[in-house]
Structure 1
Amino acid sequence: MIGAGRYRRDIDGLRAIAILPVLLFHAHVPGFSGGYVGVDIFFVISGFLITGIIAREVDEQRFSLVHFYERRFRRIMPALSLMILAVLAAACWLYLPGDIEGVPKSALAATLFASNLWFFTDTGYFAGGADVKPLLHTWSLAVEEQYYLGFPILLMLVARFAARWRSLIVGVIAAISLALAIALQRDTSGFTFYLLPTRAWELFAGALLALGAIPAPRPRWLREALAWSGLLSVAFAVIFYTRETVFPGITALPPVLGAALLLHSAPGTSVGRLLSLPPFVGVGLISYSLYLWHWPLIVFTEYATDAALTGWTAIAVVAASFIAAILSWRFVERPFRDARRIPARRIFQFTGGAMALLCLLSLALLAMGGWPQRFAPQVLQLAAGRTDISPARKACHDTFARGAQPCILGAKVRPDALLWGDSHGVEMAYALSLGARAEGRALIERTTSSCPPVLGYDAPKDARCARANQAALTAIRADPAIRRIYLAAFWANGEFDDPAFVAKLDATIHALRAEGRQVILIGPVPPQPFDVPRHLAHLARAGDLAQAQGVDRATIEARTRNLRALFARWQARGVTLIDPMARLCDARRCAIIHDGKPLYFDSHHLSLAGARLVIGE
């Protein structure tokens, strides 16, 4: 067994290598697009250090679960409790009713070390994105604590019944976890990302090192080569991975193995000396508190400003994160880790009391139902724009993915039209159905998330898109009563203006026209750089609603240049164009509010009010 019993400065340096990319990735600093892999590095370090301690004490027949959890509570709970308390207070002051409701739920889950389970199940359009989840980062703490509920018991049982096979047993479990992660790496539910079964192998990677399962390299040149390989593997993931990288799974191997190589080979090498430099060690010492505080500070700042961090704002938030981390380490972490100052009994009392208090506060906030009394009626009315959606959205969207039949909207007659699109088509379909109902007609809605109605398009992370589109075309061909086809998608997302994509859309329109169908293209909806209902509510709260304005029209025209270049040609062929920009934008700016109602329910999906304005219903 190696890795236990002596302090290694290079490990604190490795903690800095883990936390800094996470911080800079979340702060949108260029060059750190894969900084999220820092969490995986933390998992490896944790598995290495904690396993070394447990295994040594088990081997010496002095391991105590009570003492183990006392150490865990000292390490985790004081700083975590303070951060959760601060988040609850800040959310009460800052968050609108529709946004605050998720905070006490996540606080309750974080307090009980179940936040990974909560965020895994907290899905849907109105669960709120990461930008309103100040406790989202606690999912990784939950994974670790769930791991440490069972792992010490496993080592105790193995020591008693199969001591000779300890490394093999741990290795087999790690291999199973890794195989599961790879098998499910394209899962879009969040299971692979959030849950322990597909993350445990990363902790086991460190555990195997601590158990001595891999012989230590002896030649100096080999240790140097392995250490530099590890550092370069981590750097590769941090620099070249992006939000679009399928992760975790096989792509987690470079940062995990890189961290393992550094733990195993860095001592006595030039890399070890680099990681042992005071700046790295200093950041490593405060890394836990820095991890805790950076994310809420970023989320609350972006929420208050309705803008992603940039420039001096990003610098200020990063600096504030370091200040909060230093204070937390100095006045919270260090005192509670000192058994001479705070005995074990007090630690358990504090932990129980803190958990009880946080649970009670969270439940009280939940009972208040968003606490709308904090705001004026106009603010609440504008914030409620987030729920101005198609009443049929839940039932009718993503039917192909659910294996359900597409919805028929409008009058109770045989449909003569079909809307084919992604999530941007949902409210459009409902707005069209209002006019259809008044005329005694009906239409079919076939909408699939992140799947534009373009034949031959392969969604990067969802193979179902191509199948959904082919099924739509087959259904159109099989039903001659469908005379009009509406096409709607997030055309202005920045990706769909690629000439190759536009060519596929052109071919799709040609195929529909060849079937003798009338094609109506609903053009690009201008995306906004903020959540529209929230932004309008913030303006109203500050008395500045008259200043409300949307994105610059020229910006959207530049993002859809290739698509718009074909409008005239399509119209000449008989394609009807509904151009949202003609309805929403003047010569300079695009509107975000009309008759006192938000035109979007988030940053880029039109609300029902917006869809009706565009469709003319």
Structure 2
Amino acid sequence: MASGYRPDIDGLRAVAVLAVIFYHVGITWMPGGFVGVDVFFVISGYVITRGLLREAADGGIGIAAFYARRIRRILPALVATLALTSLAAYWLLLPPQLEDYAASAAASALSVANLYFWRASGYFDAAALYRPLLHTWSLSVEEQFYLVLPVSLLLAVRLRLRPLWLPFGLVALLSLGLSVYAGRYAPTANFYLLPTRAWELLVGTLLAMAPGARGTLPLAIRQTAGLAGLAGILVPALLYTEATPFPGLGALPPCLGAALLIRLGEAEARRAAATRLLAAPPLVAIGLISYSAYLVHWPLIVLGRIALMREFGPSETVAVIGATLVLAALSYRFVERPFRHAPSQPPRLRPVLAAGALATLAMAGLGWAGVASGGLPGRFPDFRLRPVPGTETWNHRTCFLFADQTWQAWDAAACTRTGGKDGLVLLWGDSFAAHYVPGLIRHADRLPGRLVQYTAAGCQPTLGVASHVVPHCRDFNENALALIRRLGIRDVVLAARWGAQRDRDVPDRLRGTVARITALGARVQVVGQSPELPLDPAFLAYHQRRDPPDAAGRWRPVADLHLNEALRAALPATVTFIDPQAALCAGETCPFARGETLLYADTGHFSSAGAALAVERFLDAGLFAPARSAAVVP
């Protein structure tokens, strides 16, 4: 069994890939499905190390042969996916989108996609939803690990290090410690880079190095252990959200759960129920195609959204999942298997390595051509991307803090944005609060005091919020209460991208935060989730360029329409609540342009013109009006 085929491991792969697909397609009951990637890491570390140890026991580790196997296993399906995705991108993506895509395609081909996306964006950013190759970051992490592991293992074997697992265990502990540290001080790097992810792969490596079990554990213990292993994966998948600090210690349950299930499956006799479940034919079938399913699912989702220019409906969600499995099965049958299984005679290594290098360079070259050309603008000669004013008024790094800044970087004098009145109005929130600054300045005469801007990227203005993206968010929010006390602020406006992290606890935290502010004697105004667009407004305007004037400039938003209802219900009747959807939109569509003037700077943030319109509507709807007996509903 130790050297044979393990159907339960394919079943575990199925659990991992389904969790990722369900999460990415937007199924609400699996907000933590991203942990499936961590399960894959553990499986990869185990399977690769087990094979290398078997080679070492048979006479030595062949580095060139190892890389030839990796090329046959990984590259054909990846190249096929990149080729088909690139063809679709050529027809669908406008020049700026294609330019970004081409850069990511080159990075994916060269196994540095994690480095590219680390520098370009965060995994949970709104912009990330429209990057067809974002998911290849995890493949790059694995491929970088494959560059290090066989050489390290070969050296350890030749040096006869005993126990063999010790140096790898020390590296795993260092990597985990670095991940915990980076989770607070460099969260995006923590998510994407090998040094902070290596421990997850090394969990599988250490498991492969562990001695075989002596004797058989009692059935009750094995059954309990199997349930614990499944729970370690499924509970985070069902309960984690994008607000959960991750990876770090948050990745321990799925990684240890996967390791426990793999270990239980090593025993042939009297297998635990969890092992038998994972070895069930339907899960095994999905596990066999899991690599191709992972490759194709995200391009299908992203390009589908771009083609439709909206989110998927329920039937479309099912269709995308079904199409993923069908395409994965075809890829497995006609791409993976022919290249993966070596012929009966020993394979010639040089042609395999040369072909792999050639395919990699060819894909990277095509990506470079797309970037160098600016996204092949000749495909859409009448498209023009113009700058949209708005974010330059946020006062970056002083009044709008970035993830690497603490609240001490904020400056009260510089962030008092209007003058001429007694009293202060505190605008507290994230970028979806900062985008109102141009409008609040524009309508300063209607404010009850001078505007004080207190905003931080990705930091929702609720006390106790945990954010792995902005590790200093909790302290930033606690300091807001000190500001209210110290400056004698009597009006506080809370605004945010409330639905950013699929966090079910937002209404409760908002209620508690409002209570704390009210206890300080300040009046609270809450601005709900503002409408978001499925694509950049410049792209929507281009697609509507031939529409009649009365229809152009409006689009159906993608933000959760029920979120504002939940926020309003959580607030006491004395708190003013403004629903931007109700204030700005008519029917099922919202304005994103007025003539040639764009009201959005990107898919979610208002431009200066949009902020002026929004604040005017909010003021008309009751923002800063005297307290009423019921929350304001525009």
Per the normalisation by structure 2, the TM-score is 0.81
| SS of structure 2 residue aligned to 1:101 | helix
Q: Superposition pairs for residues 136-535 of structure 1, below 5 Å? A: 136-186=134-184, 189-213=187-211, 215=213, 218-219=216-217, 221=219, 222-266=221-265, 267-268=268-269, 269=271, 270-340=273-343, 343-375=348-380, 377=382, 380=384, 384=386, 388-395=390-397, 396-398=399-401, 401=406, 403-406=408-411, 407=414, 420-422=427-429, 423-433=431-441, 445-451=453-459, 457-461=463-467, 464-469=472-477, 471=479, 487-490=493-496, 493=499, 498=507, 501-502=510-511, 504-505=513-514, 508=517, 511=520, 521=525, 523-524=527-528, 526-528=530-532, 530-531=534-535, 533=537
Distance 1:398 1:561, change over 3 A: same
Q: What CA RMSD, in Å, does the superposition of the two structures yield over aligned residues?
A: 4.0
Shift of the 261–389 alpha-carbon distance from structure 1 to 2, 3 Å rule, reads same
Counterpart residue identity of residue 32, structure 1:
M
Distance (Å, rounded) in 2 between the aligned partners of 1:314 and 1:553: 16
CA distance in 1, matches of 2:415, 2:183: 35
Q: 8 Å contact 2:529–2:564 — kept in the other structure?
A: no
* Cα distance change, pair 325–611 in 1 and its aligned pair in 2 (3 A): same
1:597 has 2:597 as partner: yes
C-alpha displacement at 1:179, in angstroms? 3.3
Task: Using the TM superposition, give the Cα deviation of residue 588 of structure 1 relative to its aligned residue in structure 2, in angstroms.
Answer: 7.9
Q: 1:137 to 1:544 in 2, by over 3 A?
A: farther
Report SS of the residue matched to 1:308. coil
Other-structure match for 2:66: 68
The residue number in structure 2 matching 1:21 is 19
Given that residues 109 and 363 in structure 2 are in contact (C-alpha distance below 8 angstroms), is that contact kept between their aligned partners in structure 1? yes
**Cα distance in 1, alignment partners of residues 195 and 415 from structure 2:** 41
User: Which residue type is aligned with residue 164 of structure 1?
Assistant: R
The answer on whether the counterparts of 1:419 and 1:486 sit within 8 Å (CA) in structure 2 is yes
SS for the counterpart of 1:299 is helix
Please identify, of 66-75 and 41-50, the stretch whose mean Cα deviation from structure 2 is larger.
Answer: 41-50
For residues 123 and 498 of structure 1, what CA distance do their matches in structure 2 show?
28
Deviations 1:171-198 (A, max 9, x none): 2222332333344445562232222222
- Whether the 8 Å contact between 1:386 and 1:607 is mirrored in structure 2 is yes
Change (3 A) 1:345 1:408: same
Q: Is the 8 A contact 1:57 1:63 kept in 2?
A: yes
Q: 1:88 aligns with which of 86, 89, 93?
A: 86
> What is the CA-CA distance between 1:260 and the residue it aligns to?
1.6
- The offset of 1:529, in angstroms, is 6.0
Structure-2 change in CA distance of 1:585 and 1:145 (3 Å): closer
Shift of 1:554: 8.7
Return closer, same or farther for 1:433/1:276 CA change in 2, 3 Å cut-off.
Answer: closer
The CA deviation string for residues 433-460 of structure 1, in whole angstroms up to 9 with x for no partner, is 45779xxx99653322344567xx2222
CA distance 1:86–1:558, shift in 2 (3 Å): same
Say which SS state the counterpart of residue 366 (structure 1) adopts. helix
Unmatched 5+ residue regions in structure 2? 618-634
2:96 and 2:374 in contact (8 A); partners too: no
Shift, 1:398, TM fit: 0.9
What one-letter code is carried by the residue in structure 1 that aligns with 2:213?
Answer: P
SS at 1:445 equivalent = strand
Question: How far did residue 71 of structure 1 move?
Answer: 0.8
In structure 2, the residue matched to 1:53 is 51
Q: Distance in 2 between matches of 1:16 and 1:492?
A: 32
Q: 1:159 to 1:229 in 2, by over 3 A?
A: same
Measured after TM superposition, the shift of residue 500 of structure 1 is 6.5
- Alpha-carbon distance in 1 for matches of 2:433, 2:391: 11
Q: Is the 8 A contact 2:415 2:454 kept in 1?
A: no
* More off after superposition, 20-29 vs 47-56: 20-29
**Partner in structure 1 of residue 607 of structure 2:** 607
Paired residues of 1:451 and 1:465 also in contact (CA < 8 A): yes
Mapped partners of 1:33, 1:466: distance in 2: 22
1:122 is displaced (CA, Å) by 1.6
> What amino acid is aligned across from residue 237 of structure 2 in structure 1?
V
- Structure 1 window deviating more from structure 2 (272-281 vs 494-503): it is 494-503
Are 2:533 and 2:555, in contact at CA under 8 Å, matched by a contact in 1? no
Give, in whole Å, the separation in 1 of the partners of 2:416 and 2:123. 21
User: Residue in 2 aligned with 1:116?
Assistant: 114
Residue correspondences, number: 594
Q: Which amino acid aligns with 1:428?
A: Y
SS of equivalent residue, structure 2 residue 60: coil
**Alpha-carbon deviations, 1:101-154, whole Å to 9, x = none?**
321221122111111122222237998622111111111111111112111121
Structure 2 CA distance, aligned partners of 1:313 and 1:32?
A: 18
Q: Distance in 2 between matches of 1:601 and 1:376?
A: 22
- AA at the equivalent of 1:304: A
Q: Which moved more, 1:218-227 or 1:350-359?
A: 218-227
Q: Structure 1 residues 318 and 58 mapped into 2: Cα distance closer, same or farther (>3 Å)?
A: same
Residues 392 and 368 of structure 1: is their aligned pair in 2 closer, same or farther, counting only changes over 3 Å?
A: farther
Q: Is the 8 A contact 1:418 1:486 kept in 2?
A: yes
Q: Identify if the C-alpha distance between structure 1 residues 228 and 526 changes in structure 2 by more than 3 Å, giving closer, same or farther.
A: closer
Distance in 2 (CA, whole Å) between partners of 1:23 and 1:370 is 29
Cα distance 1:532–1:409, how it changes in 2: closer, same or farther (>3 A)?
A: farther
- Provide the C-alpha distance between the structure 2 equivalents of 1:60 and 1:126, rounded to a whole number of angstroms: 45
1:273: how far off? 3.7
| Equivalent residue number for residue 558 of structure 1 | 565
Give the corresponding residue for 1:516: none
Cα distance in 1 for partners of 2:480, 2:199 equals: 41
Determine if contact 1:33/1:239 at 8 Å carries over to the other structure. Answer: yes
Name the CA distance, whole Å, in 2 between partners of 1:79 and 1:450.
36
The code of the aligned residue for 1:84 comes to L
- Which whole-Å CA distance do the structure 2 matches of 1:126 and 1:51 have between them? 31
Counterparts of 1:554 and 1:210, CA distance in 2: 48
Change (3 A) 1:14 1:463: closer
Q: Which moved more, 1:24-33 or 1:521-530?
A: 521-530
Tell me, in whole angstroms, the C-alpha distance in 2 between the residues paired with 1:139 and 1:501.
34
Instruction: Say if 1:100 and 1:200 are closer, same or farther in 2 by CA, change over 3 A.
Output: same
Q: Secondary structure at the match of 1:190?
A: helix
Shift of 1:68: 0.9
Q: Which amino acid aligns with 1:157?
A: L
For 1:54 and 1:219, how far apart are their aligned partners in 2?
Answer: 28
Tell me, in whole angstroms, the C-alpha distance in 1 between the residues paired with 2:428 and 2:72: 53
Find the counterpart in structure 1 of residue 2 from structure 2.
3
* Superposition deviation, residue 74 in structure 1: 0.8
CA displacement, residues 266-293 of structure 1 (integer Å, 9 cap, x when unaligned): 2441444433333222222211111111
Which blocks of at least 5 consecutive residues in structure 1 are unaligned?
514-518, 572-576
One-letter amino acid of the structure 2 residue matched with residue 242 of structure 1: T
How far apart, CA to CA, are the structure 2 residues paired with 1:503 and 1:285?
A: 48
CA drift at 1:526: 3.2
Normalized per residue, the structure richer in helix is 1
TM (norm. structure 1) is 0.83
Quick one: distance in 1 between partners of 2:64 and 2:77? 20
